[in-house]
Structure 1
């Protein structure tokens, strides 16, 4: 049995032509409004213990969907069913009364989560310790900063492990220290079996925490699948260019490759070479490498920028740059021109599997005009053949000194 089932959810708001039209409709029973749909036909299931991320541009309907799932907003159509106790952290400070103290709000919020007064009292020391707001716990919430409200709200929502935890963008308001602390608690809850539904613009958080991602666009579900594949598609879809096309194919290993762009230039070949010029798929930590990108111009270009992005096996970004940031933008290229870009660098990264995305665009980023963005252009593996043992994604060679005082 699924922990959460969303079936054909739709949400529409009524739009009236004038301020009197609503009253006229009520009196005459004749429809005068138009419906503006912000969500249409959204369906998905979340299994017990699974983590699902929801992504999309602002206005895609993400927060409205979470409000419907938590019951704070009613859908126009469809239904939601869930199993177990649900804790939600949606809009900043939602449910907190500004004139009551933090402690009083904790008791009210705890009761909304289904906790008894004695259970909340027993949990209060843990809530205070995790929130770290000190004496402000007994001050009115109206004097809290946005970060303090997030700290307290998150502490209450997670002090007792919920069956389902729903988190909106509110965590992004907190300071860097608390973001690390809260995401570590989320990971701990996941290990204990909590089902997670999270909305975030933080691609790293979605990729490191979630098993699956859902992309919303204009109130509809555009794509659902592995986080890396969905986020690659999302990265291509945010380009503001009607002529840009997106395609996504899945290879025999189940890995999705996303290719997007206008097609004014194309990537002919990508090769990763060692110091001798030999193409390689396995390299040692610290090895001298050259990324070779062969490009063909298919339509006159005023400028051309070529860049690359190294990602780890989860799709998290390790390093990226492009020729714009190296002050080597090529200008006035005619149809049929051929160029070869060679990036020389050291593989100062930790052991593991990595992919390289390659992009061709007009200016400093692909968002203005993307000629071609190719994810998974090449894949390579890093092994530690000669360096001292270390852990992590980066090889930073330290020099140790010990002095006896």
Structure 2
């Protein structure tokens, strides 16, 4: 292992034996050995389940790596093998340095011991002496912020208190490798903020981070590289923003497949109700008519876009207040984003919107025509709703979204979207076309006219 490589995973695999009944487990213990003894081919009474298969990657010292994937994709299994609490079936994993891990809520805590006793016990497990824990105890108790409960048995703690104490112990030992597996989702918003701030400090000081979360924005902003797993196998490994995009596309495709199957089932039930006695030879016919559009079968535009394909975004332009093409703006300037779409089939109930991110990947703002429609409905306005507009197949239409620029100096990315909204309230949405990096613009600043720091101009005033 190279000196700057702290985690090396090579062809790592984990297989579990699944038995249909306890009787089969007992048979597996005796019968195959007997069959081998008499020279027969042994028979297995289990089926194999590969929780992880042929996963390989390397992590450098001080690097922050996110691990993404749906439930059951093998994320926790991978982390447990890296931490050494689970043995691999095949492959190898090597680590260098002290590992602190938050894998399961309260793992390593004795419920009968007090919080104080568990702090000392966990410190010993992490290789700290009693004097070293003494030196760190005040910092641990302060970070956990559980008050007098520190001297109460852990079994009386809430889940939030438990994760506070567990995280406080792990980060105060200043590990070489910190592993966090969805544990922070339990804490409240203020505690999560403190945890992320502490994690960022540890990473800046050279700690290597393995971070598992379903929060895509946290993975994008907190990690530099990421691994996407699906059914125990590597889907992609690379820059976090690229991996998050692939994960988002994967979730959309799976959601489309689910809703397509559900639609077919409902169509089949409706057809059966309308025809009580169908002909015998129709039982094997597929549900739905021949002109039904299958969202899952719709083409994808390119690697930066996805959607069901009933409407496609043709062009995204940034314009100034006079309607001229522009990619450079100053605070206070009018920014217009023109999104041109084409309907590929008759459609209504649309929402055309944007999502704006800065070059660090932080989402600054998201808004769409539906937001304006909702505002109109709330005020009982008689302004026509875009959501109610109907578009015919082949029709091309444009929407301009505009605002006065309140942004700080930076480079900004526009993600453009057109979605189908079953109800005008964002409660039932289906993506028809989404484009990452649909357009870019830059905000500069004239220091003599309007100068401020940060991501946005709050337009403060001073009085004295």
Normalised TM-score (structure 1): 0.92
Structure with greater helix percent: 2
Partner of 1:371, secondary structure, is strand
Partner of 2:22, secondary structure, is coil
1:391 to 438, 448, 453: 453
1:186 to 193, 199, 208: 199
Cα shift at 1:156:
0.8
Q: Write the distance in 1 (CA, Å) between the matches of 2:416 and 2:24.
A: 55
Structure with greater strand percent: 1
Alpha-carbon spacing, 1:367–1:32, altered in 2? closer, same or farther (3 Å): farther
Residue aligning to 1:241 = 256
Q: Write the distance in 2 (CA, Å) between the matches of 1:246 and 1:104.
A: 57
Q: Write the distance in 2 (CA, Å) between the matches of 1:56 and 1:343.
A: 34
8 A contact 2:300–2:309 mirrored in 1: no
Q: Write the distance in 2 (CA, Å) between the matches of 1:222 and 1:166.
A: 21
Range with greater deviation from structure 2 (19-28 or 302-311)? 302-311
8 A contact 2:331–2:450 mirrored in 1: no
- 1:159 matched to 2:159: no
Deviations 1:129-173 (A, max 9, x none): 221212111111111121211111111111121111111111121
What does residue range 54-65 of structure 1 map to in structure 2 within 5 Å? 54-65=67-78
Partner of 1:324, secondary structure, is helix
8 A contact 1:305–1:330 mirrored in 2: no
1:215 to 228, 252, 258: 228
Deviations 1:173-204 (A, max 9, x none): 11111111111111111111111111112233
What does residue range 295-310 of structure 1 map to in structure 2 within 5 Å? 295-310=341-356
2:7 to 4, 9, 12: 4
Residue aligning to 2:412 = 354
Cα shift at 1:117:
2.1
- 1:16 matched to 2:78: no
RMSD after superposition? 1.9
Cα shift at 1:346:
1.8
Cα shift at 1:42:
1.2
Residue aligning to 1:253 = none
Which runs of 5 or more residues in structure 1 are unaligned? Answer: 250-257
Alpha-carbon spacing, 1:248–1:9, altered in 2? closer, same or farther (3 Å): farther
Residue aligning to 1:325 = 371
Structure ID, larger Rg: 2
Range with greater deviation from structure 2 (268-277 or 356-365)? 356-365
8 A contact 2:52–2:74 mirrored in 1: yes
Which runs of 5 or more residues in structure 2 are unaligned? Answer: 33-42, 258-295, 374-385
Cα shift at 1:367:
8.3
Range with greater deviation from structure 2 (328-337 or 361-370)? 361-370
Cα shift at 1:121:
2.0
Equivalent pairs counted in the alignment come to 394
Deviations 1:278-305 (A, max 9, x none): 1111111122111100111122324332
Alpha-carbon spacing, 1:184–1:129, altered in 2? closer, same or farther (3 Å): same
Partner of 1:362, secondary structure, is strand
8 A contact 1:233–1:246 mirrored in 2: no
Residue aligning to 2:217 = 204
Q: Write the distance in 1 (CA, Å) between the matches of 2:189 and 2:350.
A: 36
